[in-house]
Amino acid sequence: MPQLSLTSAEQPYCQVDYDSRNRWVRATWRGFINPQHALQSIVSSLNTLSTPAVTLFLNDNSQVLNPWFDSLTWLRYAWDSTDTPPPTCVAHVMQPGGDANVGDLDTTWTRSAGTELQLFESVDEAEDWLRGCHQKE
């Protein structure tokens, strides 16, 4: 599956790709994220997100520089724009200091879709949890 990089002012701010070894889609957000640009990027990432075999998703905000950016809202709109069911497991890595804003996350779509969402402070912890999700399949 092709890798997708979305850029802002020549600096990458989101990279969406399929990790074939681990069998999950990963979105890695970097730098300052303008929420409007992030929402506009949905159309560009639909092919990656609508891969039929995708049941696991790693959403990495560990490199986001904004005071607050809820990329779960982006994911909800992205999956609502496809005919593919949302993933069964989503590992969401918070941006540094983001744990103070956990209550601000829009998690209603994950509950209503039957998606299990876990929040993490490190990418390593998120990857370990997703590997465990493979065992549930």
Task: Give me the residue spans of the domains in the chain.
Answer: 4-136
pLDDT higher at 59 or 109? 59
pLDDT at site 126: 97
49 to 16, 34, 70, 121: CA distances (angstroms): 8, 21, 18, 24
CATH number for the domain whose boundaries are 4-136: 3.30.750.24
Q: Tell me, what's the pLDDT at 30?
A: 84
For residues 85-111, average pLDDT: 75
pTM: 0.79
Give the pLDDT band (50/70/90) at residue 131.
very high
Q: Output 29 or 135, whichever has higher pLDDT.
A: 29
Per the structure block, which two tokens stand in for 43? 């159309």
**Tokens 């599956």, residue?**
1
Q: Which residue has the higher pLDDT, 100 or 72?
A: 72
